[in-house]
């Protein structure tokens, strides 16, 4: 019985060794850049629940994806904890190369107000939550969804959610005069 078991084990180990040393024809590892971008858009679309097929700004969506789940911390401005205006300021700096102001009310002073139905990808959305003053800001992604640092951390929410719909104030697009002022010199 031991001889049969030994022969079976030896037979399977020879098969395993041959399977490991078989050559596989060379297959291209790299996919064309446009195919990779398309796959990235599909992946981010599913995760973020935003249609990315029409977007031209993948940098925006990569930035948001990288920050999702970062905890909320009032006055925070790092991956350890961040608030809504610091998140918005960091996004505008990294994605659009613009240095905007650092609180939601001051940021609103830099925009041309737009209605909910006029929002475009990258616009800002402002809320008056339990206040007569603007108290929250996020970045519009499309499909009525926006990225922001909420009390639950950085996440994507819908303007159609009862809570955000109730407190939505206005959308805003950074005024051209501020874009010119804020652009780094030499550009």
- Catalytic site includes residue 136: yes
Question: Residue 95, Cα to own-chain centre: how many angstroms?
Answer: 11
Q: Which of 62, 77, 84, 130 is catalytic?
A: 84
**Is-contact 103 85, C-beta < 8 A?**
yes
Active site residue 77: no
Count of other CB atoms within 10 angstroms of residue 47? 12
Catalytic residue among 62, 77, 130, 148: 148
Choose the catalytic residue: 62, 77, 130, 136.
136
Q: 122 Cβ partners below 8 Å, 6+ apart?
A: 57, 60, 95, 96, 139, 140
In degrees to the nearest 10, what's the CA dihedral of 128, 106, 176, 84? Answer: -60
Give catalytic residues, as residue numbers.
Answer: 84, 136, 148
């Amino acid at each position: 019985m031991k001889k049969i078991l030994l022969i079976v084990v030896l037979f399977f180990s020879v098969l395993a060794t041959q399977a490991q040393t078989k050559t596989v024809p060379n297959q291209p590892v790299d996919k064309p850049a446009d195919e990779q971008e398309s796959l990235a858009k599909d992946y981010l679309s599913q995760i973020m629940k935003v249609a990315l097929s029409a977007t031209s700004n993948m940098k925006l969506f990569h930035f948001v994806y990288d920050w999702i789940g970062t905890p909320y911390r009032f006055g925070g401005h790092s991956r350890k904890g961040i608030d809504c205006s610091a998140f918005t300021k960091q996004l505008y700096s990294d994605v659009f190369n613009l240095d905007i102001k650092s609180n939601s009310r001051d940021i609103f002073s830099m925009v041309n107000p737009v209605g909910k139905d006029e929002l475009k990808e990258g616009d800002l959305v402002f809320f008056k939550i339990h206040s007569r003053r603007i108290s929250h800001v996020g970045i519009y992604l499309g499909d009525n969804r926006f990225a922001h640092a909420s009390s639950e951390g950085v996440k994507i929410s819908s303007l159609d959610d009862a809570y955000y719909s109730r407190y939505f104030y206005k959308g805003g697009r950074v005024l051209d005069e501020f874009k010119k002022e804020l652009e780094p010199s030499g550009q």
